[in-house]
């Protein structure tokens, strides 16, 4: 099986697989699920894991794996606290749960709301705790993440305030039917390329908001589930030079995502993507 390509993760000096394991998929998992996930990561050579303090059981389930396999992975987590004190305490808890003395990347989680942004990046805010953690060797790098149609514009504001090492935001075919989002995303892409900032993308295989009460997958949105559809969506994201694709929050979707990334078949045509949107009735997740 072909290996999933790697590329520099911004200016960090680490070459990460272009597909990153989104460990939100372990949020409701078991130790057996964590072992199954590790086997898949081994199978496809994934060397980068992304989790968060708010991802349910994820950090706790990763902890025993990190105790044995820490050196194999670029490990990222996130704090959703906005104040210095709250973030400092949460960072320490994350390290305890992950059974490690440091993470490679600490991210300010979903920093989009303007008032929360002011708090987190202002005096006594979470950014001060992240900088302190970096100075103490508890993290090597600092990033920022977010959802929604304003996130690219907010990340640009964040990068003017502080030289973050990475950003994370949605990227899928439906988001790119919003001209304002495309404009902001492209400007963010330009800035990140110029400054050596890693660009992570999420929600790559989103079908749309759930339309029924019973959910077939553990994601908070409805994902594409047919492997051929997933392959088109993965190819569409990875056709953008320099970006990374963080996997969806459901372990059952991982094999199809990794397989598509490993095949590396190049960009699908606009006709193929239009047909996918129509065939599956895809809808924007964020408006």
pLDDT per residue over 149-197, tens digit each?
999 999 999 999 999 999 999 999 999 999 999 999 999 999 999 999 9
- Domain-located, residue 237: yes
| Mean pLDDT confidence for 34-39 | 97
Encode pLDDT of 198-249 as tens digits.
Answer: 999 999 999 999 988 888 898 999 999 999 999 999 999 999 999 999 999 9
Three-state SS string over 162-228 comes to CCCCEEEEECCCCHHHCHHHHHHHHHHHHHHHHHCCEEEEECCCEEECCCCCCCCCCCCCEECCCHH
Which of 87-96, 133-142, 208-217 shows the lowest per-residue confidence on average (mean pLDDT)? 208-217
Which pairs from 110-114 meet CB under 8 Å and 24+ separation?
Answer: 110/80, 110/145, 110/146, 110/147, 111/144, 111/145, 111/146, 111/154, 111/158, 112/146, 112/147, 112/148, 112/150, 112/151, 112/154, 114/154
| Mean pLDDT confidence for 64-79 | 97
What pLDDT does residue 240 have? 96
- Domain-located, residue 127: yes
What pLDDT does residue 107 have? 98
- Domain-located, residue 4: no
- Domain-located, residue 124: yes
Question: Residue 80 sits in a domain of what CATH number?
Answer: 3.20.20.100
| Mean pLDDT confidence for 128-153 | 98
State how far the Cα of 57 lies from the Cα of 52, in Å rounded to an integer. Answer: 10
Residues paired with residue 206 on neighbouring β-strands, in sequence order: 223
Total domains, the chain: 1
Q: Which position has the higher pLDDT, 2 or 92?
A: 92
Confidence check: pLDDT of 1 > 70: no
State how far the Cα of 138 lies from the Cα of 204, in Å rounded to an integer. Answer: 30
Residues in the chain: 287
What pLDDT does residue 238 have? 98
Provide the pLDDT confidence category of residue 88 given band limits of 50, 70 and 90.
Answer: very high
- Domain-located, residue 64: yes
- Domain-located, residue 154: yes
- Domain-located, residue 136: yes
- Domain-located, residue 285: no
Confidence check: pLDDT of 127 > 80: yes
Confidence check: pLDDT of 2 > 80: no
Provide the pLDDT confidence category of residue 83 given band limits of 50, 70 and 90.
Answer: very high
Q: What is the pTM of this model?
A: 0.97
**Domain ranges, residue 202:** 10-280
């Amino acid at each position: 099986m072909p290996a999933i390509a790697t590329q520099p993760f911004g200016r960090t000096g680490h070459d990460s697989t272009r597909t990153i394991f989104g460990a939100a998929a372990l949020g409701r998992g078991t130790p057996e699920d964590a072992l199954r996930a590790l086997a898949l990561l081994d199978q496809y050579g994934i060397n980068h894991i992304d989790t968060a303090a708010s991802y349910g059981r994820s950090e706790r389930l990763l902890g025993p794996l990190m105790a044995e396999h820490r050196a194999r992975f670029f490990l990222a987590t996130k704090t959703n606290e906005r104040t210095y004190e709250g973030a400092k305490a949460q960072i320490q808890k994350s390290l305890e749960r992950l059974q490690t003395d440091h993470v490679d990347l600490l991210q300010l989680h979903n920093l989009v709301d303007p008032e929360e942004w002011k708090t987190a990046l202002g005096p006594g805010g979470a950014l001060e705790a992240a900088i302190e953690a970096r100075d103490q060797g508890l993290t090597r790098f600092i990033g920022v993440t977010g959802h929604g149609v304003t996130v690219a514009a907010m990340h640009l504001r964040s990068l003017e305030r502080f030289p973050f090492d990475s950003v994370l935001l949605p990227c899928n075919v439906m988001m790119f039917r919003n001209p304002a989002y495309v404009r902001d995303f492209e400007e963010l892409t330009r800035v990140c390329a110029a400054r050596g900032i890693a660009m992570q993308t999420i929600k790559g295989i989103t079908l749309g908001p759930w339309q029924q009460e019973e959910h077939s997958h553990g994601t908070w949105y409805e994902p594409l589930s047919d492997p051929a559809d997933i392959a088109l969506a993965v190819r569409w994201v990875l056709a953008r030079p320099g970006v990374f694709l963080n996997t969806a929050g459901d372990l059952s979707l991982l094999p199809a995502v990794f397989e598509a990334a490993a095949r590396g078949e190049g960009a699908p045509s606009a006709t193929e993507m239009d047909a996918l949107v129509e065939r599956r009735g895809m809808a924007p997740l964020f408006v």
